[in-house]
Amino acid sequence: MENVQKPVRGIIKHEWILFYIFITINLIPAVRYSFFPSADGPAHLYNARLIQHLLSGSSDLLHQYYKFNNEIVPNWGGHFILTCLISVFPANLASKIFIGLGLFFLPVSFRYCVKKLNPEGIWISYLIIPFTYSFMLCMGFYNFFIGLAILFFAIGKLVDYRNNPTKISSLLILFVLITSAYLCHLFVFLSLGMFIFFLFSIDLLQSFLVPERRNEIVKKALWLLLVSALPLALTIHYFSHAHGNNDKVYLLKTELLAWLTNCRSIICYNVEDESMFTTFVFLTVMLLFSIALNRRIIEFIDSMKQQRPGIKSIVSGMQLSDVFLALLCIFMVLYFKLPDSDSSAGFISSRLNLMLFLFAILWISNMNYSKWSFLLIVGVVSFSQYKLLKAHDHVFSDLNHEVSEIMCIEPAVKANSVVLPVNYSKNRLTGHNSNYLGINKPLVIIENYECNNAYFPLSWNCKQDMFDLAHSNWSRLDEILDNTKPETLRNVDYIFVQGKKEFPDSLKARVLQQYGIAKETDNFLLLEKKKRFCSDERYTGKAHFYSPTEHKRILSSSGESLFHVFRIGNMTVLTHQCAGGEFTVE
C-alpha cells in the first residue's frame, strides 16, 4: 500500500505545475481564432474604441453623438482595461489579450482564495476550470467575467486580513479590490458585500464570548467599513437613481431545478450536446458537497455535546466555512425568487446558478479529503473540459467565419461616417456583430445597446430624432424607413444589412433608390448613400461647380434629359437628373 501511495504523494507535491499546465492549455480555444466570438463582445470592443477616440479628441463627429455617463457606474472596469489594450494593440489582439487575462486570472484567483481558506484543500481549485468558459463569457459579459477574478482575490485577501494584524498595505489592497469589484459589476460587488457582512457578523457574535478580542474585531470591522465607503456610497447612489419597472420575466421552478442538475451556467451553446458532460461536473461537486456537509454536521453535533446547549454553544461552534454555507442559502433563495430579467438587468438566474456552484466549491475546500480524491477531480475536469471545448470549437469556427466577412467589408466604410445596421439574421449570438465595423476607426454605429442603457460608460449626445432612430427595431428596416423623417435618414451614410439572404428583395429595391451597393459577401450587404449635389448652389471648396446654364446635357433619342455633365476642376462628372434640380453622382 505504501508503494501505491508514493506516486500519489509525488503528484500532489508538484500539483501546482499541473494546475498551470491546465490553465495554459485552457487558453488555446480563446486565442486560436482571430476573434473570440460572443454576443456582447463586439459592443464592448467598439465602445472601448469610442472611449479612446473621445478621450483623444480625434473625431469631432463622435462628440456630436456620444458623451460620457455623468455617473460613476458599474461596468467601467472591463471597459477601462479594454480601452488601455486597444490603445496599444490592434483590436483583435486587444480582444485576445483581454479574454486571455480573464481566463488566466479567474482560476489563479480562485486557487489563491482556496489556499487562504485551507492550504490542504488546494487541489479543490481544479474544479474552477470547467467554469472558466461559462455561459457568461460566451455571451460576452466581460465586466462580470473580470469581476469574478477580482471577487476571489478579494475574498482571499479578506480571510488573510481577518486572521492577521491590521496593516496599511492590506487596507490599501482591499480598497482597490473592493472598489474594482463595484466598477466591474454590481452583482459581483453585492456578492462580496454579503460575504463581508456574514464574515464579520460571526466574528462580532463570537467576540461577546471572548471579550478580550472584541476591540480588535470591532477595529477591523470599522477599518473595513472605511475602505468600503466609496463603493458603498456609489451603490446607494446608483440604486436611489434607478428606475423601477414591472417588465419582469420569471422562469419556471422546474426549469431552474433542471439548470442546477446540468450546471446550466457552463452550457454555452447547445444544451443537448453539452449537458452530458456538465452533468459529470455537477455529480462530482455534489458528491464532495455531501461528504463535506455530513462531516460539518457531525462536527457541529460534537461541539454541542461538549458544551451546554444554547445560543452560546451555537455561536461558539460557528466556523469560517459557515459563511459560505450561509451565502449558499441566500443565493438559493434568490435563485428561485428573483426574476431572470427585467428592463435593467438580464440573465439573473444564470449568474446565480454560477455563483451557487462557485461558492459550493469554496465551501467544499474547507474540508480535507482522501488524497485519491485529487485523481478523481483531475480526471473529471480533464474529460469534461476537453469534451466541452470540443463541442464549442465548431461554433467558434462558424461565428469567426461571419466576423471575417464583416472585417472584409470594414475597409469599405469611410472613417467619421454614420452607419445604420439592420439585422435579418436568426442567430441570437450575432446581434451586435455590426459593431465590429467600428473597432478600427471612428464610426457612429447607431445600433449601440450600451448607450441605450444607463449602466455603461457612454450615453447618447445626439438630437432627439437620431436618439429615436437609435432605439429602433433593427430587424425591420421597412418600419425604420416609414417612421423616420427623411432629413434624419440623410445623416445615414451607410446601411449595413446582416442576414442578406433573408433581406426582402422589395425592400432592397426601395433602398437602392437612395443607396448603392458598396460591398457584399455571402451573409452581409453594405449600402452606401449616393452623393447628391444641388444644381442651384455653388460649390465653395477647391473644386468648382458651374452654374446650371454652363453644364451640358446628354439627350436620349426622345429628347429627354438623361444625364448632366459638370466640370469639377479638371474632372468631368456624369450625373443622373433628379427631382428638384438635384443630381446624383454615378
109-137: pLDDT as tens digits:
999 999 999 998 899 999 999 999 999 99
Q: Would you tell me how many other CB atoms lie within 10 Å of the CB of residue 416? A: 15
Using CB atoms within 10 Å of the CB of residue 211, give its burial: 0 to 12 exposed, 13 to 18 middle, 19+ buried.
Answer: exposed
| Averaged pLDDT, 516-542 | 71
Q: Answer yes or no: is pLDDT of 551 > 90.
A: no
- Whether the CB-CB separation of 576 and 584 falls below 8 Å is answered with yes
- For residues 284-322, one letter each, b for 16 or more C-beta atoms within 10 angstroms of the residue's C-beta and e for the rest, the string is bbeebbeebeeebeeebeeeeeeeeeeeebeeebbebbb
Could you tell me the pLDDT band of residue 546, with boundaries at 50, 70 and 90?
very low
* Structure confidence by residue, pLDDT tens digits, 277-311: 999 999 999 999 999 999 988 888 887 777 766 67
Least confident stretch, 140-154, 312-326, 481-495: 312-326
- Whether the CB-CB separation of 156 and 115 falls below 8 Å is answered with yes
**Minimal CA–CA distance to 357: which of 65, 507, 135, 94?**
135
| Averaged pLDDT, 146-174 | 95
Least confident stretch, 120-129, 162-171, 234-243, 521-530: 234-243
Least confident stretch, 206-210, 237-241, 442-446, 465-469: 206-210
Q: Answer yes or no: is pLDDT of 354 > 60.
A: yes
- Rounded CA-CA distance 80/68 in Å is 13
Q: Answer yes or no: is pLDDT of 407 > 70.
A: yes
Q: Answer yes or no: is pLDDT of 582 > 60.
A: no
Question: What is each CA distance from 499 to 421, 517, 521, in whole angstroms?
Answer: 11, 15, 10
Q: What is the dihedral of CA 397, 403, 409, 411, to 10 degrees?
A: -110
Question: What is each CA distance from 48 to 71, 77, 91, 271, in whole angstroms?
Answer: 17, 11, 10, 32
Using CB atoms within 10 Å of the CB of residue 578, give its burial: 0 to 12 exposed, 13 to 18 middle, 19+ buried.
Answer: middle
CA dihedral sign of residues 502, 506, 511, 513 = positive
Q: How confident is the model at residue 525, as a pLDDT?
A: 95
Q: How confident is the model at residue 573, as a pLDDT?
A: 52
Alpha helices (H) along 446-578? 464-470, 477-483, 486-489, 505-511
Q: Would you tell me how many other CB atoms lie within 10 Å of the CB of residue 198? A: 19
